[in-house]
A and B are shown apart, each in its own frame.
Chain A
Amino acid sequence: MRYVLLAAAVLATLAAALLLGPANVPFGDLLASPIVWQLRLPRALLAFLVGGALGVSGVGLQALVRNPLADPFLLGLSGGAGLGAVVAIAFHLPGPWALPLAAFVGAVGAMALVYRLGLMGGAELDPRILLLGGVAVGAFAAAITTALVSLAEAAELRNAFLWLWGGFSGASWTTVLVMLVYAPLPLVVLVAAARPLDLLALGEEPAQYLGADVRRLKRLVYLSASLLTAAAVAVAGVIGFVGLIVPHVCRLLWGRLHHTLFPTAFLTGGVLLAAADTLARTVVAPRELPVGIVTALVGVPLFAFLLRRWTVS
C-alpha cells in the first residue's frame, strides 16, 4: 500500500512538473511543446535525480556516523562546493561548465580533507572525527568564500549567493545525462552496503562479529555518499534538508533496514525535490525562488516535528 502511494506520488509529481509553469501550455499540446521537452522535462528529471541522490546519500551517512541528525552537507561538502563556485565566479572562469566543475572540485576537495582528518587516529575512519572535521572544514571554506564575496562586485555577489541556495534553472538534457552516467556507480556501492549498514547500527565491534568488514564499509560508504552529494551540488547548488528529512520519513514509513531504505529514499527524495522545484518556479512566476529556500521552508517545520517525535519516544 505504501509502495503504491509512493509510485503514485512519483507519477503525480512528474506530471505536475510538466503541467505547471509560467508559460501556459494547453493540455493537448503538452507532448509536442518544446517548452515541455526542452525545459520542463529535463528540469523535472534533474530535480528528481538530485533529490534521489541526496536522499540516498543522507541514509548512507546517517548510518555511517550512527547519528540520525546527520545531513550530507554537514560533512563540509557544501562549504567546499560554495568556495569552488565563488572562485569560479570571482575569477570569471570561462565556459558553461566552469561553475559546476569548480563546485564539484571544491566539494571533492573538502571531502578529501575531511576523510584525511577522519583517518588521523589510525587506519580506522572515526565517525565522530568525520562529523567534527566536516563542521570545521565547512566553516573554514565558508570563511574564505565570504572573504571572496565581500571583495567581489555586487552583481556577481548576487549570482554567487543565488547559486549557493540551489536551483535547477540551468537544467538541460546534458546535465540529466551527466547525472545518469555518474550516479549509478555510487548508488550501486551503497545498495551493496545495505546489509552491513544494518549491522553497523549495533556498533562497530558487534557488526564485525556478524560478518561486516567495518573498515572497508566505512570508507566505501563515506566516499560513495560524498561523491553523490558532490555531483548533486555541482549541478544544482546546495539544497539542504532533503538529505536530512528523507531518511527519517522513509524510516518511519518503511522501517530501518537499508535494502528497503535506499530505494524508497531515492524515490522519496526525488518526489520531494521535484515538487519543491515546481513550487519554486511557479509561486512567484515569472521569477523563481532558489529551490533551497523552498526545501528549507518546508523542511525546517518538518524537522522540528520529527525532532519532537524523536525526543518524545
Chain B
Amino acid sequence: MDRELIVTVSDLTCRYASAPRDALQAVSLQVRAGEFHALLGPNGSGKTTLLRAALGLVRPVQGRAEILGRPASDWSRRDLARVVGVVPQREENLFPQRVHETVLLGRYPHLSLFGGVRAADRAAVERALVACDAVDLADRWLWTLSGGEYQRVRLARALAQEPQLLVLDEPTASLDLRHEMELFELVRALVDGPGLAALMITHHVNLAARFADQALILAEGRAVARGAPADVLTRETVERVFSWPVAIQPFEGRPQMIPLRQRKDAL
C-alpha cells in the first residue's frame, strides 16, 4: 500500500500536569489517505488525548506526532486547519448564527488577513453542504436543528476546510439509529469517494467493526490492539478492555459484539 501517509504517531507518551499516570503510553498509529480508522476504548482511556497530541494541541513527553511528515508542533494552526478538519466532541454557541455562516467558518483558514470571502470559498461551502445533505438547512438558525442535523452541519464545516483528514470525536453520541447510520455511511462515502482519511472516536464497537478499515483499542493510555476489526475485536480483548462479558458473532464478515446479561446465579 503506498497511499499517502497523513498521520504518523510513534511511541507517543503524554502526561497532564498533576495527573497520577501517563494519559498515553507509547502509542503508535498510522493513518493513510483512503482509510477509515476507528479509535475505541472505555472512558478515560486516552482517545481524545491521542487526537489532541496527534494534532499538536498536547505536547508529548516522549515520541513523535507528525502530519504529512512534519512534526505536529511545527505546523501553524492555520496551515494545519487546511489539512485536517475536526468535528470536536462539543463546542459552544455563544451567539445565534445560521447554518451557512457556521459552515463558512470552515473557510477561515483559507482566507487572507483582510481579504473577503471569494467565489471559491462559497463554492466550497456549497459542495460541503451538498456532500452532507444539508443544502436545505443553509438558512436555518443553528439552535432550531435536531441533533442529527446539527452533526451533519458540523461535518459540513469540517469538509469546507477541504481537508485530507477528517477527525471526529464521538460524532454519533446521542443520535438516533437513522442519524447514526447516516453519519457512518457519510464518513465511509467520503473515504471511498474523494479518498479522505478518517479518524473517528466512537463507543459504537459494532458500527466501527462494520465501517472502519482499521481499529485501535486503547485502555488506560495503552494500545491494547490494532489492526483490521476482524482481528482486533475478539471476545477476550473486548471483555478485558470494557470489563464486561460479551459474545462475538460474525455478520457480513465483520465481528459483531453482543453484551451478555450478568446474572448473579450464573456466577
A residues neighboring B (CB under 8 Å): 66, 68, 122, 191-192, 195-196, 198-199, 201-203, 205-206, 208-214, 251, 255-257
Contact = CB atoms under 8 A, between A and B. Distances in A.
Interface in B99-143: 101, 105-106, 108-109, 111, 113-114
B88 interface: yes
Contacts of A255: 97
B238 interface: no
24 contacts: A66-B92, A68-B94, A122-B17, A196-B108, A201-B92, A202-B92, A202-B93, A203-B90, A205-B57, A205-B88, A206-B91, A208-B57, A209-B55, A209-B81, A210-B105, A210-B106, A211-B77, A211-B78, A211-B80, A211-B81, A211-B108, A212-B78, A213-B76, A255-B97
Given A201-B93, A210-B109, 6 more contacts: A66-B92, A195-B108, A206-B88, A209-B84, A211-B77, A211-B108
A196 B108 CA distance: 8
B114 A201 contact: no
B122 to A, nearest CB: 15
A214 B111 CA distance: 17
Contact of A251 (B78, B80, B95, B106): B95
Contact of B111 (A68, A195, A208): A195
B57 A199 contact: no
Nearest to A196: B108
10 tightest Cβ-Cβ pairs between the two chains A and B:
A211-B81, A211-B109, A209-B86, A256-B95, A211-B78, A206-B91, A201-B94, A202-B91, A203-B92, A206-B88
A256 B80 CA distance: 26
Interface in B48-100: 52, 55, 57, 76-78, 80-82, 84-86, 88, 90-97
A301 to B, nearest CB: 23
A199 B105 contact: yes
B57 A213 contact: no
Main secondary structure of the interface of B (DSSP, over half): loop
Contact of A198 (B80, B86, B88, B105): B105
A191 B114 CA distance: 8
A122 to B, nearest CB: 8
Nearest to B158: A209
A209 to B, nearest CB: 4
B161 interface: yes
A213 B101 CA distance: 21
A66 B94 CA distance: 7
B86 A199 contact: no
Contacts of A212: 77-78, 108
A257 B81 contact: no
A211 B107 CA distance: 10
Nearest to A121: B17
Nearest to A205: B88
Given A210-B81, A210-B106, A256 B97 contact: yes
A251 B94 CA distance: 12
A258 B133 CA distance: 29
A192 B77 CA distance: 16
A213 B77 contact: yes
Nearest to B80: A211
Contact of A210 (B57, B76, B97, B161): B161
A199 B108 contact: yes
Given A210-B105, A210-B106, A210-B161, A201 B80 contact: no
Contacts of A214: 77
A90 B187 CA distance: 69
Contacts of A205: 52, 57, 88, 91
A212 B106 CA distance: 11
Contacts of B108: 195-196, 198-199, 210-212
Nearest to B143: A313
A187 B90 CA distance: 32
Given A66-B94, A198-B105, A203-B92, A192 B113 contact: yes
Contacts of B80: 211
A206 B90 CA distance: 8
A209 B48 CA distance: 14
A46 to B, nearest CB: 28
Contacts of A213: 76-78
A203 B101 CA distance: 16
A292 to B, nearest CB: 28
A217 to B, nearest CB: 10
A184 to B, nearest CB: 14
Contacts of B93: 201-202
Given A66-B94, A199-B105, A208 B77 contact: yes
